[in-house]
């Protein structure tokens, strides 16, 4: 289901299951979807992901996941604010992607968002895509946040070597 400028339902996602286009949600968050020539789909966030915009943003990204599948990148570099509801909806989006046989990766998360992800133990659920930084990883690879990956079930540092 697509969304109109206020973040409310605006009919189907698009012709033949295509993802929604650019929308403005709750007056403070703009989302847009672009599928590149390689088939990689990126949803770009700009503004505030908070209580008012979380539910419609989740619906928008779910539509993209359902229409495109595969690896979905969330470019969150344009987020100026993300509260607990926003963080929760990012995790919900990731779980939906997993259930749909897809994966969700964050691109360019702001430092404060990275800190909150680390503090809440969501590094595994919200992996950071670093493939666009030359020489760090293979293209398209997702890596944990350096120095902060922990096994939260036991409260111990992960045994996986970090970059």
- Cα angle 118, 136, 156 (rounded to 5 degrees) comes to 30
pLDDT-above-70 percentage for the chain? 67
CB contact burial 9-18 (16+ within 10 A = b; e otherwise)? eeeebeeeeb
Taking the C-alpha atoms of residue 133 and residue 139, their distance in angstroms, rounded to an integer, is 9
Which range, of 22-31, 41-50, 51-60, averages the lowest pLDDT?
22-31
Give pLDDT, residue 39. Answer: 87
User: Could you tell me if 133 and 99 are in contact, meaning their C-beta atoms sit under 8 angstroms apart?
Assistant: no
- 58-93 residue pLDDT tens: 999 999 999 999 999 999 999 999 999 999 999 999
Give pLDDT, residue 151. Answer: 41
Q: How many CA atoms lie within 13 A of 92 on its CB side?
A: 15
- 117-156 residue pLDDT tens: 999 999 999 999 986 533 333 333 333 333 333 443 334 4
Please name every residue paired with 104 in a beta bridge, in sequence order, or none if there are none.
72
All structural domains of the chain, each given as residue ranges with its CATH number in brackets, are 21-133 (3.30.750.24)
Neighbours of 77 (CB within 10 A): 14
Which pTM does this prediction carry?
Answer: 0.71
Mean pLDDT of the residues in the chain:
77
């Amino acid at each position: 289901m697509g969304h109109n400028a206020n973040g409310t339902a605006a009919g189907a996602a698009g012709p033949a299951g295509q993802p929604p286009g650019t929308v403005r949600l709750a007056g403070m968050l703009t989302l847009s979807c672009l599928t590149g020539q390689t088939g990689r789909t990126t949803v770009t966030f700009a503004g505030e992901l908070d209580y008012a915009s979380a539910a419609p943003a989740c619906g928008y990204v779910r539509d993209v996941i359902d229409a495109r599948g595969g690896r979905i990148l969330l470019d969150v570099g344009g987020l100026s604010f993300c509260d607990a509801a926003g963080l929760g909806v990012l995790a919900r989006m990731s779980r939906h992607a997993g259930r749909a046989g897809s994966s969700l990766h964050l691109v360019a998360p702001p430092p404060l968002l990275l800190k909150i992800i680390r503090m809440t133990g969501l590094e595994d659920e919200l992996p950071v895509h670093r493939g666009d930084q030359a020489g760090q990883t293979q293209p398209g690879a997702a890596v944990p946040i350096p120095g902060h990956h922990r096994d939260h079930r036991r409260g111990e540092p992960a045994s996986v070597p970090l970059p």
